[in-house]
Amino acid sequence: MKRLGAVLFVFCGTIACAGDSDDLQSPDAAVRLKTVQRLMVPGPIDPALTGALVDRLREDPVPAVRLAAAYALGNAKPPQKLALAALVDVLGDTDELASVRRGAADSLGKLAKGSRRAAAALERAANDPALTAEAVEALVALGADDQAKAFLAHREEKVRSRAATAYFKTGGAGVLALGLSSDDPEVRKKTVMSLNGRDQRRNTWSDADVAALRAAAAHPDPFVRSGVTQQLTKLNETGPLVPILLEGLSSADADVRSASVTALTVAGSGVVKYIPELIAAIDRAESPDTKQLLILALGGAGEGAKPALPKLFELLGDGTPGTRLTALRALTKAGVADPAETVKRVKPLAADRDLGVRMAVNEVIAAVGTSAADTAEQLRSKDLNVAVKALPSVSRLGEDGVVLIPDLLALNARFPPPRPNTVSNNPSVSGIIAAMGPKAVPALLDGLKGADAKARQLCFGALERMELDALPALTELRKGLGDEDPLVRTLCATALAHLGYRAREAVPDLIKAMATYPDLTQAGNAILVIGGVTGDDAKKVFELAQAPGTPLVRRYRIYAVGGTDVKEGGAVLDAIERGFGPNEQGLREAAEFARKRFNPAQVFTEQLAGVVAGPSPHSSARHAMQLDLWPDARKSLAIQLAKRLDDTNVYVQVELIRCLVWMGADAVPSLPAVEKLLTSPDEAVRLAAKQALKRIKP
């Protein structure tokens, strides 16, 4: 057979190289080895090569070729009896090299699921310490879990040790619990050591795994106890174990003491019931490091930290700067239990001789401050970092933060411009203002009166992000379509699109902008969304849609036709489509998209389906609310929005709450579902729910 270089051929999902069959029989060992090694690459191999690979495994005089063949046969799927028989024979051949037999065990684990003969062969092989690890892993892979477990109690210590390493590496159900509860110290040690090799993201650990770790958190073996506690700390799963961790502070083992105190710092609200015990531990702590970690743990009580505040306030007067600093950091969380008193107590430390302490005072005020006056003081700080850290306080004020909009505009002016061709990483001040709701509109309109381009961009950006809340600014948004700043024009067109049918009086302005600024594609999209375009306005839209232009400009002008009457607009789209060339598929799609808008009921049905079962229900709801909905449609939309409030994505929850606010009286039946979110663990969700309950009036 003629060899065609290194060209790969794919037949029926398998990979082979022309000439592989001949090369596997080549008298040149280097050729045979190179061919077999290529077949080791994960992926199904041509079944016709199985016989030749079996010959290499059984008969080749070169060990490296036999080794490669043993692993390559693991790709022979579906498994053939010929391959399984050869692998079983080689695995049991005590005259064969251990490395080749290990390769055979590995391939049996891939091919022999459910095979009793293979399981028996692997059991026999696992008694040999040189093969134990691979044989045990293969037993688990082919479903013989009980046979694999048996080797954890093997009479030979070396076999037990290697079996434990292999078994716990598989990560199967119940593996962790079995290893941690073993009577064999070596098995327990291997289990603990295997923890570091696992993915540390919480979503990769099953609830059973976490339960097994918690069950071993008080294990009498210090190595197990400290290792398990460290792992639970990495997973932020120490909250339910506070009594055990407090007891661990007195352990005779240094590793247990260290792991316990560190674990307490991530126990969060789990410490609330044990505040007196934590305070006692702080008082008797001998090491400054231990004391500071315990102070941080006390702060983790958060909203439940009121009994801890006297102690934290007392520590603010400690003679050690490190202790004062740590107490302040704890108050960034614990201070929410009594924000006014916390701010009062930390303010005197703004004159502390230690720079770190002075900086931390600002962090506390930014984190817990609820007074607009305190927050304004932070926003006006000469230190930009201090000012930026006050932004979360502004968010917590909600609509009461509108008095701070001038300060926010001033802060935005201080942000450095982004480097060329990079995205700005400055905080989103416009988003914070937008969350204040319609009460922010007057202040934003005042901000638009200035000549500063950066301030105007921020104000229009906030109005764009306010979506339906920006309706009171409709007049200014219409004016903005003629602004000399391209970004302002884009923001205004997008904001008008968010308003949907409510912005119909802006249609003439959008048509003019679409004609004057061809690159303002958002204007065409806004006309499509707003709809109801008739008379002379419709004629102008038709003229623009049929005028020459770049493909992008034409696409959005064609979109605009979807905002007109179905009869006239449909006829215009027919005429436009007849003029499309063979390479203008994008424009055909634009025309089809525009046609869909002629049927509002169909659009609503599609968007409602997105609310019911889509990944972005809030986005679908926004699109639905751009339509002039009839009463039954509004009622259905509000009901489905409320049902999706249990979404696990915090951002989605916040956005769904905003949508319910815009539903107004139709959202009143949803108030009980919104009230439940007042106890959400996420502050943003709680704030959104609180604001919504103020705005949705029964």
Residue with tokens 């040149």: 28
Q: pLDDT value at position 1?
A: 30
**Can you tell me the mean pLDDT for 463-472?**
95
Identify which of 8-22, 146-160, 459-473 has the greatest average pLDDT. Answer: 459-473
Give 5's pLDDT tier (boundaries 50, 70, 90).
Answer: very low
**Can you tell me the mean pLDDT for 152-166?**
83
Residue with tokens 């202040």: 443
* 204 vs 499, residue with greater confidence: 499
Using CA atoms, how far residue 103 sits from 23, 57, 63, 120, 324, in Å, is: 22, 10, 12, 17, 61
Domains of the chain: 204-259 (no CATH), 602-695 (1.25.40.90)
For 345-402, what is each residue's pLDDT tens digit? Answer: 999 998 999 999 998 998 898 888 778 888 898 899 888 888 888 888 898 888 999 9
Q: What is the C-alpha separation between 259 and 265, in angstroms, rounded?
A: 10
Measure the CA dihedral 546/547/553/558, to 10°. -10
**Phi then psi dihedrals of residue 442, to 5 deg:** -55, -45
Contact 45, 75 (CB under 8 A): yes
**Can you tell me the mean pLDDT for 135-162?**
86
Residue 141 CB neighbours (<10 A): 21
Per-residue pLDDT for 449 more than 90?
no
Q: What is the C-alpha separation between 384 and 202, in angstroms, rounded?
A: 35
Per-residue pLDDT for 616 more than 70?
yes
Q: pLDDT value at position 222?
A: 96
Residues constituting the chain: 698
Q: pLDDT value at position 8?
A: 40
Q: What is the C-alpha separation between 88 and 275, in angstroms, rounded?
A: 62
Please name which of 486, 528, 540, 521 lies closest in space to residue 503, comparing C-alpha atoms.
Answer: 528
Poorest-confidence range of 10-19, 36-45, 205-214, 502-511?
A: 10-19
Q: What is the pTM of this model?
A: 0.66
- The alpha helices in 60-97, defined as continuous H runs, are 63-72, 81-91
Per-residue pLDDT for 10 more than 50?
no
**Can you tell me the mean pLDDT for 476-495?**
95
- The alpha helices in 240-371, defined as continuous H runs, are 242-248, 254-264, 275-284, 288-299, 309-315, 321-334, 339-346, 355-368
Percent of residues, the chain, with pLDDT higher than 90? 69
Query: b/e for 8-30, b at 16 or more Cβ within 10 A?
Result: eeeeeebbbbbbbbebbeeeeee
- The alpha helices in 579-649, defined as continuous H runs, are 585-596, 600-613, 617-625, 631-643
Radius of gyration of the chain measured on its C-alpha atoms? 35
Angle between helices 98-111 and 132-141 (to 10 degrees): 10
> Mean pLDDT across the chain, nearest whole number?
90
3-state SS, one letter per residue, for 539-589: HHHHHHHCCCCCHHHHHHHHHHHCCECHHHHHHHHHHHHHCCCCCCHHHHH
**Can you tell me the mean pLDDT for 391-414?**
91
Q: Which residues pair with 10 in a beta bridge?
A: 15
Q: Residue 489 corresponds to which tokens in the numbers above?
A: 């024009």
Percent of residues, the chain, with pLDDT higher than 70? 95
Residue with tokens 């579906």: 78
Per-residue pLDDT for 651 more than 60?
yes
Residue 412 CB neighbours (<10 A): 21
Please name which of 374, 425, 432, 427 lies closest in space to residue 402, comparing C-alpha atoms.
Answer: 432
For 266-320, what is each residue's pLDDT tens digit? Answer: 999 999 999 999 999 999 998 999 999 999 999 999 999 999 999 999 999 999 9
Give 462's pLDDT tier (boundaries 50, 70, 90).
Answer: very high
Measure the CA dihedral 450/454/456/461, to 10°. -160
For 48-99, what is each residue's pLDDT tens digit? Answer: 889 999 999 999 999 999 999 999 999 888 888 899 999 999 999 999 999 9
Residue 12 region by backbone torsions, left for phi larger than 0, else alpha for psi between -120 and 50, else beta:
left
Q: For residue 16, what is the enclosing H or E element?
A: strand 14-17
Q: What is the C-alpha separation between 73 and 47, in angstroms, rounded?
A: 10
Per-residue pLDDT for 207 more than 70?
yes
Query: b/e for 658-686, b at 16 or more Cβ within 10 A?
Result: bbbbbbeebbeebbebbeebeebeeebbb
Give 248's pLDDT tier (boundaries 50, 70, 90).
Answer: very high
For 531-570, what is each residue's pLDDT tens digit? Answer: 999 999 999 999 999 999 999 999 999 999 999 998 999 9
**Phi then psi dihedrals of residue 10, to 5 deg:** -115, 115
Pairing of strands 14-17, 8-11: antiparallel
For 674-687, what is each residue's pLDDT tens digit? Answer: 999 999 988 889 99
Per-residue pLDDT for 518 more than 70?
yes
Per-residue pLDDT for 188 more than 90?
no
Per-residue pLDDT for 9 more than 50?
no
Q: Kindly give, in sequence order, each residue whose CB lies less than 8 Å from that of residue 446, ignoring residues fewer than 6 positions away.
A: none
Residue 193 burial (CB < 10 Å; 0-12/13-18/19+)?
middle
Using CA atoms, how far residue 679 sits from 67, 278, 331, 645, 689, in Å, is: 61, 26, 21, 13, 9
Q: pLDDT value at position 6?
A: 38
Taking CB atoms within 8 Å and a gap of at least 24, the contacts of 47-51 are 47/14, 47/76, 47/80, 48/21, 49/16, 49/20, 49/21, 49/24, 49/76, 50/76, 50/80, 50/82, 50/83, 51/82
